Structure 1
Amino acid sequence: MASISSRRLAKELAEIHSEGCPVGINLVKADDFTCWWFTIEVMGESLYQGDKFTLQFRFDPQYPISSPAVQFVVTEGRQAPIHPHVYSNGHICASILGNEWSPVLSVVAVCVTLQSMLASCKDKQRPVDNDRYVRHAPDNPKKTQFHYDDDTV
């Protein structure tokens, strides 16, 4: 019997193959139900016009109850977008990947949200604690307790 995670991912992948992705989002590769890669590009006028970034999604057996580990792929010659919520190692500080994750969100919905986050950016800059965070960051961004600006005290 297939797990809830693998059934859900199989459904999402089938929808991507049959319906396609929104404009500017493309599935590059899906390694079964463990790791998927997408490219995202901001459409229209923005600070990132003409830039294309690669996102990596890693799924644990608790998906969709728990969020996927999502980060921008950083390799030689490819950097994460310079954005106030994106660290130079590709980790993303976004509440939908943390305390506001909901099982109703899909992989494509996360891509659209991150595409929108880039499109609405007014100032290309790294998070203020980028250097310190990157020095001590875990491999898996889900192991980080991010503080979201909209958190209430």
Structure 2
Amino acid sequence: MTSSSAHSRKALSKIACNRLQKELVEWQVNPPTGFKHKVTDNLQRWIIEVNGAPGTLYANETYQLQVDFPEHYPMEAPQVIFIPPSPLHPHIYSNGHICLACPQVHVKGLSTVSAPCVLDNTDILYDSWSPAMTVSSICISILSMLSSSTVKQRPADNDRYVKNCRNGRSPKETRWWFHGSKV
């Protein structure tokens, strides 16, 4: 876990365990297109393989997400980061942190996805988290964000942000400033 709280991470609550087991079963039956859960014996940390959607800048590229679930999931958002090397994207920092303020976008081969941050420019992984969201919905939002990108580049403030995140600061501790929704 990249957070400084990695050593003090509390065990999952019964509600969190039940919810994650339910999501894991659903994932095994109906995984989101372009994603593969790498099975481990740790329910509290999922490693997910992400395959770029065909016809996009990220086609034929594979990345890994690390999803760390807090004690009170789903009432509290999981921490979601790319395991380096992370994709070159205007909303993904080189340390794997993701700023997922996503407008309504269309992913080739997938239906239109609307995220709750459209109106107020907050991040669905943090400020606008809802317990109704699932690992699958997070993954689809991330794939939508990647697929809608028109450029492969880091955020303008990448170096400053990464420098300020040394010592394992969690992206959940970040107050995100949005550069805009067009990429």
Q: Which TM-score applies when normalising by structure 2?
A: 0.74
Question: How far did 1:42 drift?
Answer: 2.1
Render the CA deviation track for 1:18-44: whole Å, top value 9, x for unaligned.
Answer: x13122111013443310010111222
- Cα deviation, 1:47-66, whole Å, max 9, x if unaligned, reads 11110110000011111011
**Is there any run of 5+ residues in structure 2 with no aligned partner, and where?**
1-12, 101-122
Opposite residue 20 of structure 2, the aligned amino acid is L
Q: Percent identity?
A: 39
SS in 2 for 1:9: helix
> Are 1:44 and 2:44 matched, yes or no?
no
Task: Between the two structures, name the one with larger relative contact order (CA 8 Å, sep ≥ 6).
Answer: 2
User: What RMSD in Å do the two structures reach over aligned CA positions?
Assistant: 1.7
- Please list every run of 5 or more consecutive structure 1 residues that lacks an aligned counterpart in the other structure: none
Aligned to 1:140: 170
Secondary structure at the counterpart of residue 96 of structure 1: coil
Question: Letter of the aligned partner of 1:128 in structure 2?
Answer: A
Asked whether the equivalents of residues 32 and 139 of structure 2 are also in contact (C-alpha less than 8 Å), the reply is no
TM-score in terms of structure 1 length: 0.88
2:97 corresponds to: 91
In the alignment, the residues of structure 2 paired with residue 117 and residue 43 of structure 1 have an alpha-carbon distance, to the nearest angstrom, of 11
The counterpart of 1:5, out of the listed 8, 13, 16, is 16
Structure 1 residue 149 displacement after superposition: 4.6
Count residues in correspondence.
145
- Note the 1:9-88 alignment, pairs <5 A: 9-17=20-28, 19-74=29-84, 79-88=85-94
Equivalent position amino acid for 1:89 in 2: N
CA distance in structure 2 between the aligned counterparts of 1:65 and 1:30, rounded to whole angstroms: 24
1:127 matched to 2:133: no
